[in-house]
Structure 1
């Protein structure tokens, strides 16, 4: 029995989620390649574009990222001129993050990539099927959230 078949036999739901997540991330990476961003970086920029400048800790929470991962991602985005980080005038411990004007040039491509990702992900699913899957995924997420430190 192959390792994959063994995983599916022991935990079929977990195995299915793993496969879907892997395929989805790979597809997102291919669609984002033209933007020069890596999967996850677009979430940071999309959040800043919509919600505006914010504390780094709030940004990490908004996209469900841990602090070290967020710091690395922001360092890359800052190096590429897409975000700016500054210390708060009122509390020097607080880092504020904002999208730069330069980042706005890639916004149409990022949004187009996400629209295509959504289109390919849902395929021929009916609106009712999409709603049901989204509801089931929220239920799975609520099962796991209390276990995430």
Structure 2
């Protein structure tokens, strides 16, 4: 029996994610940030001063991946690390002014990619699509109950 990738949620989701990542990379490249940095910044724009461990948990990435991303972000002047007053063994990650100024342009660029990608869907279909994706993600991440 031949595998029908057009009926595989996993294949289609992976393909969609790669397309989004490529388009996002193209849209934010001129800002000097990469998609992994952008998703980290999204969390820090929402709540600055998180620990690396918290970012790993929220973004569902490997510790080593996050460490590399944060090292690049620090090198690029996007974050600074400060000792965590609640736990001397960890550091808090803080956005620099440079990174804070990128929030509008970066989120606008990401929003435009979403608009382009979903342009063929009605408002009802967009809402259904996002709801269904969220439910599937929640099913695959039962420990957190959300994306």
Shared fold, TM over 0.5? yes
TM-score normalised by L of structure 1: 0.83
Instruction: Establish whether residue 94 from structure 1 lines up as the match of residue 90 from structure 2.
Output: yes
Instruction: Establish whether residue 127 from structure 1 lines up as the match of residue 123 from structure 2.
Output: yes
Structure exhibiting the larger radius of gyration computed from Cα positions: 1
How big is the alpha-carbon RMSD for the aligned residues of Structure 1 and Structure 2? 2.1
For structure 2, list consecutive stretches of 5 or more residues without a partner in the other structure.
none
**Which residue of structure 2 aligns with residue 47 of structure 1?**
43
SS for the counterpart of 1:81 is: coil
For structure 1, list consecutive stretches of 5 or more residues without a partner in the other structure.
none
Distance in 2 separating the partners of 1:7 and 1:132: 24
Distance in 2 separating the partners of 1:20 and 1:116: 16
Match of 1:77 among 73, 77, 93: 73
**Which digits, 9 at most, give the CA deviation of each residue in 1:37-91, with x for residues without a partner?**
1112112112212212122211222222222111110000001111001222442
Distance in 2 separating the partners of 1:91 and 1:47: 20
Runs of 4+ with >4 A deviation: none
SS for the counterpart of 2:34 is: coil
**Which digits, 9 at most, give the CA deviation of each residue in 1:81-112, with x for residues without a partner?**
11001222442211110001121232232122
Match of 2:8 among 5, 12, 21: 12
Question: What are the residue-to-residue correspondences of 1:23-38 with 2, within 5 Å?
Answer: 23-38=19-34
Instruction: Establish whether residue 103 from structure 1 lines up as the match of residue 99 from structure 2.
Output: yes
TM-score normalised by L of structure 2: 0.84
Q: How many residues align?
A: 142
